[in-house]
Copies of this chain bind each other. A is one copy, B any other.
Amino acid sequence: MSSKKEKLSVEPYKGVRDFYPEDQAFYNYLLSTYRQVAERFGYVEYHASVLEPAELYKSKNAENEELVNEQTYTFVDRGGREVTLRPEMTPTVARMVAARRRELGFPLRFFSIPNVFRYERPQRGRLREHWQLNVDLFGSKSLTADTEIIAVAAEIMRAFGATPNDFEIRIGSRIFLDSLITQLSLSDDATKEFVALLDRRRKIPAAEFDATLAELGVPLALLSTSDTPDEVRVVLKTLAELGINNAVYDPSIVRGFAYYTGVVFEVFDTHPDNNRALFGGGRYDNLTTLFDDEPIVGVGFGMGDVSMRNFLEVRGLLPVYVPPTKLYIAVAAPEDVSHALMLAQELRAQNVAIAVDFGDKKLADQIKAATKHHIPYLLVVGENEITSGTFAVRDLATGKETPLSRTELASFFLALA
């Protein structure tokens, strides 16, 4: 039937990824590292559907217009509801916290590792879906909350094997920025241009930055790093007390999202081949007022899987893939499968991860299959082995064989892990 039809492509949808076992193993490594650090800081995991009512992103404010109109996946469901694939997690967590403000205790520490979607034009070669650690702390106006959030970010970097020299934490302030804009009486348009200019500072030549700044009527001296705003000074001091010394004040850190209201930060890769912001976050104090009049203050950050992978790759910190399966049981003949299944069942009961071949093909091809799966050890079940009770465990990388009795097998494999 099928040969007459036109064949389908095996490619995934444009801009999203398939996760084969090696990719998934890396993703699970990210997940468990994130989780371990977040939990040590008292954060608890939450999650939500990728589908959200489209209103959640529309109402926030005008600055999100481009994101909402051009970059989200928004469609109308069969019941006439407008629905969006979440482009970021913060509105969702604000909604969830607002929904249970009476039951939840504050300060509230929440983390999640959701997938988020952006419609990117294919030619840019950018991904339309990525996974993003989100860490948020609700209900504290204390600058210690801002500090803790940055400390969590720094500890995650350390947990991945990064040293303090591998990255720099740059801290800015929206309070300072807002006071500057008021002081200079910048128009709405000039403000927009000014913020965008700050955001681009590291990507353009200094001369171009200075010239554009002068055009906007902003004196360069106001952006001096020696004049650290109070809130940034407090955060830097507490970070230093905690032994985190790779943090600096940077007045050009402003963050894209309009909802930030206080301390903002970005973590920069210091590697010359990858010198850019890895991720960032900051304080946003009014998000829950979308849902009711009682604001719950918040501070948090988001960290994407792709930029973290690039960082680890450049630094040689990517873990080597090790499959969960430790042993492949091959069979000398199809009639030995029953014995192979029994042996596998015995060893599984002792927590050894085992794949069994059903003897559909000859032994050489069974061994080839085990190698393709990257399984480290193989043994053959045949008449000899069943009679003698001794199994030659072959190391598939070296070819070396270790003869083991049936009762010795489990401890041999458990010792590997």
Contacts and interface: CB of A to CB of B under 8 A. Distances in A.
A96 B286 CA distance: 44
A96 B372 contact: no
Interface residues of A, number: 114
A233 to B, nearest CB: 15
Interface stretch (A42-50, A221-229, A266-274, A308-316): A42-50
Interface stretch (A188-196, A248-256, A334-342): A334-342
B105 A358 contact: no
Contacts of A215: none
Interface string A115-133: 1010101100000110000
A21 interface: yes
Contacts of A76: 75
A353 B7 CA distance: 53
A159 to B, nearest CB: 11
B78 A75 contact: no
Nearest to A292: B7
Contacts of A387: none
A142 B336 CA distance: 13
Contact of A144 (B129, B148, B286, B341): B341
A207 B83 CA distance: 46
Given A21-B44, A241-B342, A358 B95 contact: no
Contacts of A204: none
A3 B141 contact: no
Contact of A98 (B10, B39, B352, B360): B10
Interface string A1-31: 1110101111111101111110111011000
Contact of A44 (B12, B50, B325): B325
A184 to B, nearest CB: 22
Interface stretch (A52-60, A160-168, A169-177): A52-60
A354 B107 contact: no
Interface stretch (A363-371, A378-386, A400-408): A363-371
Interface in A97-154: 98-100, 103-110, 115, 117, 119, 121-122, 128-129, 139-142, 144-145, 148
A40 B79 contact: no
A409 interface: no
Contacts of A41: 348, 353-355
Contacts of A141: 360
Contacts of A351: 40
A289 interface: yes
A353 B238 contact: no
